[in-house]
């Protein structure tokens, strides 16, 4: 059996991030198609009888053609000419809608690289920018894919300038488009100094549902076949080199540059090139530092970090229930950080100190499940019936280790939630407890409102719809919501809470993790109180 360190070296764990409708779920399926995980790709919106996207399993996702929950897919892939064992790809699809930024943030704590998908017509959009900053803060290197090049869009050099201007990231294209947006002829494979290594021409397939054929031509043959389109691409490639837009591995890993590939996920053009680039350039799983606060509070020996070859450890980055209509189980998604995970092993839950059994462990993509017996650093494991686990929790074997907790985004929308029928109150409370633990929304409580009408706090209002839909579908509890007059939240403390509660337009709540949260009517009210009462503790709730 291979060592954990050797297994980690051939793993690539990444997430796809993008603005809604950039083609994220379509790309996820295209990657799976090229790795022969699925035989035929669907479409995000399931048009004209085509299959629904396999990663979108919720009814709400399929109805709206959007992803509202993350899902994970593992497959093996060997680039052409690769010698030795194939790479193991752990692909984590994420919600694109801004209302689910918190779920995406959790996923980004569990990956080693990201693919930033950009719509060739729209360029960088607000959600893309927000998620890029999260990657930058967490040291996650990014590969940029300019998608939908088969449709009319911006000029390629304009998109490169936009990336530099908007996010300060130097794009270093590896594959440059031959033909303008909407007239996608193929890709120029860039070499040293911008010189063309060759040309890749793609063949259309019926609806883009199967792998597109590829024809590789040398530069002379490409020039003869493509004429002016090739000349333009070759000239632009040389211009890029003059602007220092050539790949440098150290600068990429440092987050200063981003390799760029032009593609059409819907046509399956450029998909092999994306996979090959991930295998060649994206980092393998590496060491992870322990939580400084846990180290400071430790009363016995504790590891300050774990590397892939050390004893087993892992981090829970997401908890999800209701994925199997036949089983009322709760699934905890665990990223293996170090060592080998063996199904059935007894591990320790760092936050409670209790023993945890891993008898039921799965790999999960949408609602597709398969038992996993062994997993290595970088792999994503679904632990069944994990009611005691929450996002950010650490499981370990050997000497104690505890990784940093999962930060939460600052909520901007607030509504009360109550059951339509008093007869379903018991089930209502159970549903609230379980969905709160998953992080579907943040649940805020105080004595004045009571347990029957807690306040939901969310990054975006669509989270409220997911909460109600899941309560109805999974717990048979119909609910109603009502707005409350608050739009700003801050964390406070026991000393400041009584004084804040006496202020007009302020209400104090307790969150499930013990945090005391003050809600304000608007930012001007908050600003006034901060000015008049500098003695109050008021901290932002934005993820670091």
Residues annotated within a binding site for GTP: 93-97
Helix (H, G, I), strand (E, B) or coil at 200: strand
Using the Cα atoms of residue 165, residue 166, residue 170 and residue 171 in order, give the sign of their dihedral: negative
Q: Is 36 left (phi over 0), alpha (psi -120 to 50) or beta?
A: left
User: In 10 A of CB 260, how many CB atoms?
Assistant: 27
Which parts of 322-427 are beta strand (E)? 330-338, 341-342, 346-349, 355-357, 361-365, 368-371, 374-375, 380-384, 394-396, 413-419
Query: Measured between alpha carbons, how far is 182 from 179 in angstroms, rounded to an integer?
Result: 8
What angle is formed at CA 216 by the lines to CA 192 and CA 89, rounded to 5 degrees?
Answer: 75
For 502, list phi and psi in degrees, rounded to 5.
-80, -10
User: Is 96 in contact with 22 (CB distance < 8 Å)?
Assistant: yes
Tokens representing 46 are 């399931």
| DSSP track, 38-84 | SSS--BTT-GGGPPBPTT--SHHHHHHT---S-EEEEEEE--TT--S
For 354, list phi and psi in degrees, rounded to 5.
-90, 155
Q: Which residue ranges are tagged as binding site?
A: 93-97
């Amino acid at each position: 059996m291979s060592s954990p360190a050797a297994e980690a070296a051939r793993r690539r764990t990444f997430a796809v991030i993008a603005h809604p409708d950039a083609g994220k779920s379509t790309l996820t399926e295209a990657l799976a198609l090229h790795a022969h995980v699925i035989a035929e790709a669907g479409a995000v919106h399931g048009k004209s009888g085509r299959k629904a996207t396999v990663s979108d399993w919720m009814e709400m996702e399929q109805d709206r053609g959007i992803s509202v929950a993350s899902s994970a897919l593992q497959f093996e892939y060997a680039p052409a000419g690769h010698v030795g064992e194939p790479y193991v790809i752990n692909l984590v699809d994420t919600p694109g809608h801004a209302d689910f930024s918190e779920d995406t943030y959790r996923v980004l704590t569990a990956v080693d690289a990201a693919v930033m998908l950009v719509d060739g017509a729209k360029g960088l959009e607000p959600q893309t920018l927000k998620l890029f900053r999260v990657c930058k803060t967490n040291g996650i290197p990014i590969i940029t894919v300019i998608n939908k090049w088969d449709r009319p869009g911006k000029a390629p050099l304009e998109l490169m300038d936009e990336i530099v201007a908007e996010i300060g990231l130097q794009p270093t294209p590896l594959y440059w488009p031959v033909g303008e947006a909407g007239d996608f002829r193929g890709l120029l494979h860039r070499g040293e100094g911008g010189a063309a290594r060759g040309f890749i021409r793609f063949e259309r397939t019926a609806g883009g549902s199967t792998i597109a054929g590829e024809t590789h031509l040398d530069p002379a043959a490409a020039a003869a076949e493509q004429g002016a389109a090739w000349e333009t691409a070759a000239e632009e490639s040389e211009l890029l080199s003059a602007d220092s837009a050539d790949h440098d591995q150290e600068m990429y890993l440092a987050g200063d540059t981003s390799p760029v590939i032009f593609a059409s996920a819907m046509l399956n053009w450029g998909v092999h090139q994306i996979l090959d680039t991930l295998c060649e350039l994206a980092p393998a799983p590496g060491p992870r530092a322990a939580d400084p606060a846990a180290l400071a509070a430790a009363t016995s020996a504790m590891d300050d970090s774990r590397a892939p070859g050390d004893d087993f450890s892992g981090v829970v980055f997401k908890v999800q229930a209701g994925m199997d209509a036949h089983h009322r189980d709760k699934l905890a998604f665990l990223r293996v950080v170090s060592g080998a995970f063996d199904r059935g092993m007894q591990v320790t839950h760092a936050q409670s100190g209790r023993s945890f059994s891993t008898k039921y462990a799965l790999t999960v993509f949408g609602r597709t499940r398969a038992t996993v017996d062994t997993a290595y650093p970088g792999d994503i494991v679904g632990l069944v019936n994990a009611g005691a686990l929450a996002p950010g929790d650490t499981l370990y074997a050997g000497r104690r280790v505890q990784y940093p907790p999962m930060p939460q985004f600052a909520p901007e929308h607030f509504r009360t939630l109550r059951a339509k029928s008093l007869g379903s109150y018991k089930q209502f409370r159970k549903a609230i407890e379980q969905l709160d633990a998953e992080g579907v929304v943040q649940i805020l409580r105080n004595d004045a409102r009571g347990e029957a009408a807690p306040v939901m706090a969310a990054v975006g209002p669509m989270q409220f719809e997911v909460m109600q839909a899941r309560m109805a579908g999974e717990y048979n509890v119909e609910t109603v919501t009502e707005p409350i007059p608050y739009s700003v939240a801050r964390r406070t403390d026991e000393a400041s809470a009584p004084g804040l509660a006496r202020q007009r337009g302020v209400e104090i709540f307790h969150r499930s993790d013990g945090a005391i949260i003050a809600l304000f009517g608007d930012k001007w009210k908050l600003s006034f109180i901060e000015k008049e009462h500098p003695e109050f503790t008021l901290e932002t709730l934005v993820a670091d």
